[in-house]
Chains A and B, each alone.
Chain A
């Protein structure tokens, strides 16, 4: 078995490795290199050192959108995870039609971000119409619009992961808790949550990274209006890239900073939640 694996390793892994290298590793390295250059196209670049990074911080909108993104991530991670956790609790009890509900809650996740953005833009503008305002009248509307949209979209997906986690909890544990006289809340706090920590790790990771790299929904819902006050990081990078002649390098520098930030936060989060996972 070991030998066969070794013998055929190259054959089976090579296509995947090649594709990964071409589609991911090479562009990634090129991207990092380009962030130190001034360029029009990727094959035509001149070295400028750290200048792009300095310019990235000189424009105030980069830090503004970073702050907006952080606020959005905190709020949306909380709403999505709390809501999906309670939904999964509900849908693991023996209620008739559970599967149907699970499917329905999962469905929004199958719709593309741009489409969702436009649909919710229409819905929310329709709600705001009687008050004579629109989503972009005030950055707060845009913020909560985004939170509502993302919660609606992501809750079903996270719910499925939590459902899987809850179903894996051994029945004896729950029965033992019941025999010992644990109440509903105590069961959740002391049995269910510790037992599904692996699911929590995954869900937090997915919602945090998704929140940081959110682009389509942001572009379609508000496109940063009014005056870039609802512009998130990914959209800011995109706009830097195409807003001015000769700013490609700065956009690239922001993208590298963005990568470091998201990677660091995701790694820290994984470390913290992994520690709390218990062996069953």
Chain B
């Protein structure tokens, strides 16, 4: 008995050695290691990789970091012998951390096809990050529920279509009346849950303060852009804090979930509530399309999914559209061989300019890609992406850029998010939340 056991153990040891050694592959020179940020489309990259290898013979190794762990994965992967060649930074603040690794892409073909050069992440005269997807967010609404509401005999507003909502006062009147009539409309509440489960508060601590801060920085920008004013700001006044509160309170008071229970809700929960037709509104971006269309029991029709801009009760807000921008930038690792860097740039150029590559981008990856190689008809077909394009081209409406890239650190967002949660739970007053916003910004921008 003991002998057999010994033999088995010995065998296990030997096989372990064999398998451990099997990892080394013959040729590495023609392999591009791409560390992907977006887990929701990880499987598409496997197809892209096969197609690219079939066309060019170059192997593409795609590794996807689990949701919310990109920085951790990148930190450990980039220190290895075979580091990622293509990785992603999240904007000017992310660049500060990775500047020792990012190659200057100014003279590459990829930068050449970028349609709006001001979108790239730059430092001095160098270009270090190239955006690959434009995204937008606002309030997503279910037009079927809204139509049903506007047909109610006892509605409290004079307008008769959701497209007539053009400021906060109208939005508030409609939302509060919908909440009042929720039984008649067969829904649980006007807004989906204001999700505050750990890691699920980014819609409130990152996206929602964007527009109030845009107003503030836009007034202070001088000759530069609002984003530059934000990056330079060591302190903020948060002068549109009460505007933020207007909309945030509207979310909380007209929700499907009681404020005290929000700490239990995830973004998935609120998207599911929308997909199942239990709520009329949810704040999110076009990346959420998959979470609506892909949900089992989905009752929302494609043509009923529409976007409304965020309205805060600020004078002149009707001229602003959705919050459109990006925080996804490709960077190339400059510590690997020049041949590998070139191979990586060739791949990205192929992805965004060849017919096969563009087919993947439009059809499967669902990117609204900011490259001049895409014609006006070559855009993704999901309803939210279409809405983004519609708002981008709407006459008399300006999009709000993504100022939150100028937020001093991740820590700032975390602290502000926690303060918001405490506000919803009643353990902090609004004045305290505003103080925390200002003091954390000041403290975090010291580093």
Which A residues are closer than 8 A to B by beta carbons? 40-44, 125, 129, 132-138, 219, 222-228, 239, 242-248
Say whether, besides A132-B260, A136-B263, A225 and B198 are in contact (CB < 8 Å): yes
Q: List 25 A-B contacts (CB under 8 A).
A: A40-B97, A41-B79, A44-B79, A132-B258, A133-B260, A134-B261, A134-B264, A135-B263, A136-B421, A219-B198, A225-B421, A226-B422, A226-B425, A226-B427, A227-B421, A228-B418, A242-B72, A243-B410, A244-B411, A244-B444, A244-B447, A245-B93, A245-B94, A245-B97, A245-B409
Residues of the B chain whose Cβ atoms lie less than 8 Å from the Cβ of A244: 409-411, 444, 447
Residues of the B chain whose Cβ atoms lie less than 8 Å from the Cβ of A246: 96-97, 447
B414 on the A face (CB < 8 A): yes
Scan residues 384-442 of chain B and give those whose CB is less than 8 A from a CB of chain A: 409-411, 414-415, 418-419, 421-422, 425, 427
A41 to B447, CA, bound (A): 18
Residues of the A chain whose Cβ atoms lie less than 8 Å from the Cβ of B71: 242
Question: What is the CB-to-nearest-CB distance from B330 to chain A, in angstroms, rounded to a whole number?
Answer: 18
Residues of the B chain whose Cβ atoms lie less than 8 Å from the Cβ of A225: 198, 263, 418, 421
Residues of the A chain whose Cβ atoms lie less than 8 Å from the Cβ of B422: 226-227
Query: Are A134 and B263 in contact, CB atoms less than 8 angstroms apart?
Result: yes
Query: Are B96 and A226 in contact, CB atoms less than 8 angstroms apart?
Result: no
Q: Mark B90-107, 1 if CB is under 8 A from A, else 0.
A: 000110111011000000
A245 to B411, CA, bound (A): 9
B372 on the A face (CB < 8 A): no
Given A227-B415, A228-B415, list of 18 further CB < 8 A pairs?
A: A40-B100, A41-B76, A42-B79, A132-B260, A132-B261, A133-B261, A135-B263, A136-B196, A136-B425, A137-B260, A137-B263, A223-B198, A225-B198, A225-B418, A227-B418, A243-B411, A243-B414, A246-B447
Residues of the A chain whose Cβ atoms lie less than 8 Å from the Cβ of B447: 244-247
Closest to A228 in B: B418
Which B residues are closer than 8 A to A by beta carbons? 71-72, 75-76, 78-79, 93-94, 96-98, 100-101, 196, 198-199, 258, 260-264, 409-411, 414-415, 418-419, 421-422, 425, 427, 444, 447
Residues of the A chain whose Cβ atoms lie less than 8 Å from the Cβ of B76: 41
Closest to B101 in A: A40
Residues of the B chain whose Cβ atoms lie less than 8 Å from the Cβ of A243: 409-411, 414
A58 to B93, CA, bound (A): 23
B contacts with A: majority SS: helix
- The count of A-to-B residue pairs whose CB atoms sit within 8 angstroms is 83
A41 to B101, CA, bound (A): 10
Question: What is the CB-to-nearest-CB distance from A254 to chain B, in angstroms, rounded to a whole number?
Answer: 14
Closest to A238 in B: B72
A243 to B264, CA, bound (A): 23
Query: Are A138 and B427 in contact, CB atoms less than 8 angstroms apart?
Result: yes
Question: What is the CB-to-nearest-CB distance from A241 to chain B, in angstroms, rounded to a whole number?
Answer: 8
Closest to A134 in B: B263
**Of residues B196, B263, B421, which shows the largest number of chain A Cβ atoms within 10 Å of its Cβ?**
B263
Residues of the A chain whose Cβ atoms lie less than 8 Å from the Cβ of B415: 227-228
Residues of the A chain whose Cβ atoms lie less than 8 Å from the Cβ of B198: 219, 222-225
Residues of the A chain whose Cβ atoms lie less than 8 Å from the Cβ of B411: 239, 243-244
Closest to B78 in A: A41
Closest to B68 in A: A242
Residues of the B chain whose Cβ atoms lie less than 8 Å from the Cβ of A227: 415, 418-419, 421-422
Say whether, besides A242-B410, A243-B414, A133 and B425 are in contact (CB < 8 Å): yes
Residues of the B chain whose Cβ atoms lie less than 8 Å from the Cβ of A129: 261
Residues of the B chain whose Cβ atoms lie less than 8 Å from the Cβ of A43: 79
Residues of the A chain whose Cβ atoms lie less than 8 Å from the Cβ of B261: 129, 132-134
Question: What is the CB-to-nearest-CB distance from A164 to chain B, in angstroms, rounded to a whole number?
Answer: 25
Residues of the B chain whose Cβ atoms lie less than 8 Å from the Cβ of A223: 198-199
Question: What is the CB-to-nearest-CB distance from B77 to chain A, in angstroms, rounded to a whole number?
Answer: 9
Closest to A135 in B: B263
A134 to B98, CA, bound (A): 39
Query: Are A226 and B100 in contact, CB atoms less than 8 angstroms apart?
Result: no
A7 to B422, CA, bound (A): 66
Closest to B71 in A: A242
Closest to A125 in B: B264
Residues of the B chain whose Cβ atoms lie less than 8 Å from the Cβ of A125: 264
A41 to B84, CA, bound (A): 13
A242 to B371, CA, bound (A): 32
Question: What is the CB-to-nearest-CB distance from A57 to chain B, in angstroms, rounded to a whole number?
Answer: 15
A14 to B131, CA, bound (A): 51
Question: What is the CB-to-nearest-CB distance from B332 to chain A, in angstroms, rounded to a whole number?
Answer: 16
Closest to A132 in B: B260
**Of residues B72, B101, B196, B414, which shows the largest number of chain A Cβ atoms within 10 Å of its Cβ?**
B414
Residues of the B chain whose Cβ atoms lie less than 8 Å from the Cβ of A132: 258, 260-261
Question: What is the CB-to-nearest-CB distance from A49 to chain B, in angstroms, rounded to a whole number?
Answer: 17
Residues of the A chain whose Cβ atoms lie less than 8 Å from the Cβ of B72: 242
Question: What is the CB-to-nearest-CB distance from B10 to chain A, in angstroms, rounded to a whole number?
Answer: 13
Closest CB pairs A-B (n = 6): A223-B198, A243-B411, A245-B97, A41-B79, A227-B418, A132-B260
A69 to B410, CA, bound (A): 24
A40 to B102, CA, bound (A): 13
Residues of the B chain whose Cβ atoms lie less than 8 Å from the Cβ of A228: 415, 418
Query: Are A134 and B410 in contact, CB atoms less than 8 angstroms apart?
Result: no
Question: What is the CB-to-nearest-CB distance from A263 to chain B, in angstroms, rounded to a whole number?
Answer: 26
Residues of the B chain whose Cβ atoms lie less than 8 Å from the Cβ of A222: 198
Residues of the A chain whose Cβ atoms lie less than 8 Å from the Cβ of B444: 244
Residues of the A chain whose Cβ atoms lie less than 8 Å from the Cβ of B260: 132-134, 137
Residues of the A chain whose Cβ atoms lie less than 8 Å from the Cβ of B419: 227
A226 to B427, CA, bound (A): 10
Question: What is the CB-to-nearest-CB distance from B254 to chain A, in angstroms, rounded to a whole number?
Answer: 17
**Of residues B96, B415, B425, which shows the largest number of chain A Cβ atoms within 10 Å of its Cβ?**
B425
Closest to A221 in B: B198
Residues of the A chain whose Cβ atoms lie less than 8 Å from the Cβ of B79: 41-44
A226 to B55, CA, bound (A): 52
A248 to B79, CA, bound (A): 14
Question: What is the CB-to-nearest-CB distance from A44 to chain B, in angstroms, rounded to a whole number?
Answer: 6
